[in-house]
Structure 1
């Protein structure tokens, strides 16, 4: 479901930082949000639409896509895609181009956590799956949209990494490693596109209560909360606000950047 506070008319809540804008800064822009049928992706897609964008939500679940479209309303196209399949990603890119007429923005937020266990006991198949979704799938999506952005001489790519990619969370080695790799990929691609009016940045959230919590053990959730100086989890609205600035025209002299949204947890 769409988190409370997300919708056409956003409000401000000082404690939770739910500041919203009613302007139309994304008017005429075409965006892709991967993992956009739930969690942070859904929050970002909702805000982009509320500010004028046409959005293609990429997700694996037809049911979740239909529900997200119904919740957000007009301005949304649902595209079913398995991002771990490069051919499927390319097909989704072509379907999106046909539906929207262009691609200006990519927010790559699809991801999984994998099991919570020690590195030496980590199942090989689970390791490969986490890396395939969080790193390879994100790479395929970044790779697929760049040619269209180059042809349009404009683009904004925002990759969702994690504070775990900076610090490394115990009992989450695959997740931490994959998110560290996303940071490295973002920096490389940002430099490659720096002269093309295409910015590439990433965000590194601490824990935000979304359906991804269902993939984690309670001790691991408790550990993540204990590391946040603010003493609370982040909100979808707080992360979406930062992502949407990075996806906007205002973000014109920042690329290859890594933006903390961790309640003070980040150590660098």
Structure 2
């Protein structure tokens, strides 16, 4: 995708085809950003310069940041994230993406011993209530993970659940979200239920329960998630000369 003069560029690293930016795509376009997906399955990481896009987004996926022997592309991906962080350029991580950012900042990421899958609210910290996440107060968000990150040094904890940390920020440009505020549960949920069928079965979770919850919570989540993302975009700071 070629950016129109004056537009900002976004690259979203995608690990599985159905985990996209979902409802966030419209907010990016509204804010004047172009969007290109870099698919790890197509070797796109090898051609990606971490400093090129104005905004880098790292999406979710059903693997762990520590599985580098099994999935070697994670080494390249973490190096890209580290370069991005050193430059101080905007980066958003969702689920696996947040875990990769945390790991790049030397925070521990490990299994929790249980699956946190389904719709449930998050508990905002004081810092979270003063952040764009305030739009998600009392909203049931979509959780889909079994790993969790420790809080990176220098990060502000924005949200938690009884199981794990759920969000952190470092200044205006770094945001990690363990949950999925971007998920389009009115259009794309069935792909998630099919794509993660084995994980759901192993966890003893009935897809019909998630489908029913999506009918109740999907639209409020979409509205709140888009409001959160739009506010975060407006506060981004772009260094004139990124450090390498």
For Structure 1 versus Structure 2, the TM-score category normalised by the shorter chain is: 0.3 to 0.5
TM (normalized to structure 2)?
0.47
Relative contact order, higher structure (CA 8 A, sep 6+): 2
Structure with more of its chain in helix, by fraction: 1
